[in-house]
Amino acid sequence: MIFAEPPVDVLRDQAAREAAEELSKSAYRQSGGSLIERALNKLIEWIADLLNNVTGTSPNGHLGLILLVALIALIIVVVLWRAGVLRTSKSSKKQAVFDTAKPRNAAEYRAQAEREASSGDYTHAIRSRFRACVAELVERTVLDDRAGRTAYEVVADAGRAVPTLRDSLQPAALAFTEVVYGNRPGTAERYAVVVTADNAARSARLTVSR
């Protein structure tokens, strides 16, 4: 009895081909302007080209399977990066609100933010206005004058001193971190969130226990 040869692993080759075609879509190429994101995009395109070649040249599909697994892992990294998870974990120690040991006073940061916002530069306006907010809290002794404090540490420290500040500071800290350290675009909406937090800081009062 003559047995037919086992069929070619069509499903494996088809999966690799479909993965390569999916990666060729513009959604994967237009992932932002940062250096790391562009490098990841180039790597994805390279793997996609390899998958296209492997589906036509590899008889057993083992190499294609290995590349497909690597591709899936790479996509997970890209998704995590775009979501901000990897950015936050790698650079948390560098996300200080102030980039100088002697920051200016709140009024100066606030005036700078208003100039930047009026010119449409919301990216820098968000940075300056959040710094005004933090400087205000220091001037009002809600926060101690400590160098290197991050935006989320501002929320935690100020929230302990004046709990009512937490609700306005939390979204402002997120906007500041995403725009300044996460390469997210500065917008009028994000700036308005920071302005709200700054206004709350200007009316903050410490509760003195007796």
Predicted confidence (pLDDT) per residue in 127-168, tens digit: 999 999 999 999 999 999 888 899 999 999 999 999 999 999
The answer to whether position 2 is within a domain reads: no
> Are residues 55 and 118 both part of a single domain?
no
Rounded to a whole number of angstroms, the CA Rg of the chain reads 25
> Are residues 131 and 198 both part of a single domain?
yes
Report d(CA 52, CA 71) in Å as an integer. 13
> Are residues 194 and 142 both part of a single domain?
yes
The answer to whether position 207 is within a domain reads: no
Task: Report mean pLDDT in 10-residue bins for the chain, 210 residues.
Answer: 48 56 51 58 68 57 65 72 52 70 88 97 96 95 90 93 94 94 92 96 71
Q: How many Cβ atoms are within 10 Å of 23's Cβ, its own excluded?
A: 21
Record the tokens describing residue 110, joined without a space.
């606030």
> Are residues 193 and 107 both part of a single domain?
yes
pLDDT at 166: 93
The answer to whether position 170 is within a domain reads: yes
Residue at a domain's end among 25, 59, 83: 83
Q: Are 148 and 83 in contact (CB under 8 A)?
A: no
pLDDT at 104: 87
Domain total in the chain: 2
The answer to whether position 39 is within a domain reads: yes
> Are residues 99 and 69 both part of a single domain?
no
Record the tokens describing residue 139, joined without a space.
């001037």
Note the pTM of the prediction, 2 decimals: 0.56
Note down the domain range covering 161.
Answer: 94-202
The answer to whether position 141 is within a domain reads: yes
Q: Are 91 and 56 in contact (CB under 8 A)?
A: no
pLDDT at 202: 94
The answer to whether position 1 is within a domain reads: no
Predicted confidence (pLDDT) per residue in 180-196, tens digit: 988 899 999 999 999 99
pLDDT at 83: 56
